[in-house]
Amino acid sequence: MGENLIVIGRISRPHGVKGEIRIEYFNPEDPHFFSRYQMIFIQGDQGSPQPYRPIKIRPHKHYILVTLEGIRNKEEAERLRGNLVLVDPAGLPPLEEDEYYWHEILGMRVVTEQGGDVGKITDILHTGSNDVYVVNKGKKEFLIPAIKDVIIAVERDTRTMVIRPLKGLLEEDDL
């Protein structure tokens, strides 16, 4: 089961003394969606993801505060600091056409509409107005804005993104 799980956040630290944790949730657009998860998994540096049932969930500033079943005090919560929060993708809401989850985009190969190899998406920056894809090719790094003028096609089956670079975004020798 752990192989199919996707990362939705990271535990930043305990909150208070009763075992509540503060989670940096990677869906800043809809912090209330976190309350739909019946079960989350917490993955540390070693071992397999451990299941936890959220008991109480509330947004707080740019974070989600969560009380987990079995975590009763600050010391137990402290042991979870820095760990990843994962969920089963079956629990994710359906998307509209031309919408994608970050886990679908990360690792995609990026090519120009002429077939030039730009590289692989290694990170996504959330800027507020639109996401920006960080694409790496060797030692080169490109920032590709996730806008309709640039993204021509996203092919889930081949894990390929086709782009039409704006003027100045890529140089001829970059490809």
Question: Could you report the per-residue pLDDT of 119-161, keeping only the tens digit for each?
Answer: 999 998 877 788 899 999 999 999 999 999 999 999 999 999 9
- pLDDT category at 3 given cuts 50, 70, 90 is low
Q: Which CATH class is domain 2-90?
A: mainly beta
- 102-166 CATH, one of 3.60.15.10, 3.90.550.10, 2.30.30.240, 2.160.20.10: 2.30.30.240
Mean pLDDT in the chain?
A: 89
User: In 3-93, where do the E strands start and end?
Assistant: 6-15, 20-25, 40-43, 50-52, 54-60, 63-68, 84-87
Q: Per residue in 97-106, pLDDT tens? A: 888 888 889 8
Q: What is the pTM of this model?
A: 0.67
Q: Give which of 72, 110, 86, 113 is closest to 4, Cα–Cα.
A: 86
Domain assignments of the chain as residue spans, ordered by start: 2-90, 102-166
